[in-house]
Amino acid sequence: MFDLNILCIGQKTPVIHIPHNTNIWVNNINSNYRKRKKRYFQIAPVMNYMDGIWYELLRSEDEIAGTSICDYTTNGRTYPYWISSAEIKDDLCALVIDEEFFESFRAILKFMTEQSPINTIFFFCRFQSNDCETICGTLTCDDFISLLKQRKILTNVCYSIRNDQSNQG
């Protein structure tokens, strides 16, 4: 099972309804956003010290201990150049979002980046791992989705994702 997490950076009020999301349960898991220790305090300390609302994505509100919205595939042992630690390479698999949930997943990412005062979210898909925090630099939402389709987004890596329009203006 996977934990699909989104931290909406700087968000003060959780969202309840997300347009174009038809089949993913979005659950606010830190009702007190000022609380310093959030989920995965030991695993993802950088995410935990960022202010904002942390959400988990589930198939339904009854799903417990992870979700089946996604799956993984081997990445052919090809890693981005910035992954150098041999001890975490075995924990990095290509993330695959089930086709049934893909459009809702995309809508959630885009909407959440718009809800952040700095138009940025952190996305973290946790799958059985050695629990070493690995963070990828900022991608646009469209670039993230494109890489996801190419099976180049990895589990157990935190991705910073920004709104595609955030630099225009």
- The string of pLDDT tens digits covering residues 110-121 is 999 999 999 999
User: Is 17 inside a domain boundary?
Assistant: yes
What tens digit of pLDDT does each residue of 35-65 get?
Answer: 545 566 667 767 777 888 889 998 888 877 6
- 81 is a domain residue: yes
pLDDT of residue 146: 96
66 by Cβ neighbours in 10 Å (0-12 / 13-18 / 19+) ranks as: middle
Token pair 């595939």 is at which residue?
73
List the alpha helices (DSSP H) in the chain: 45-48, 86-89, 99-115, 141-149
pLDDT at 122: 95
Tally the domains of the chain.
1
The answer to whether 18 touches 105, Cβ cutoff 8 Å, is no
Which domain range does residue 56 map to? Answer: 3-162
**123 membership: H or E segment, kind and range:** strand 120-126
pTM of the predicted model as reported, rounded to 2 decimal places: 0.84
Average pLDDT for the chain:
81
* CA atoms lying within 13 Å on the CB side of residue 49: 5
Using DSSP bridges, classify how beta strands 158-162 and 135-140 pair: parallel, antiparallel or unpaired.
Answer: parallel
Kindly state whether residue 51 falls inside one of the protein's structural domains. Answer: yes
Do residues 125 and 155 make contact, with C-beta atoms less than 8 angstroms apart?
yes
Q: Is residue 116 part of a domain?
A: yes
Structural domain includes residue 26? yes
| 168 found inside a domain | no
- What is the rounded distance in angstroms from the CA atom of residue 68 to the CA atom of residue 53? 22
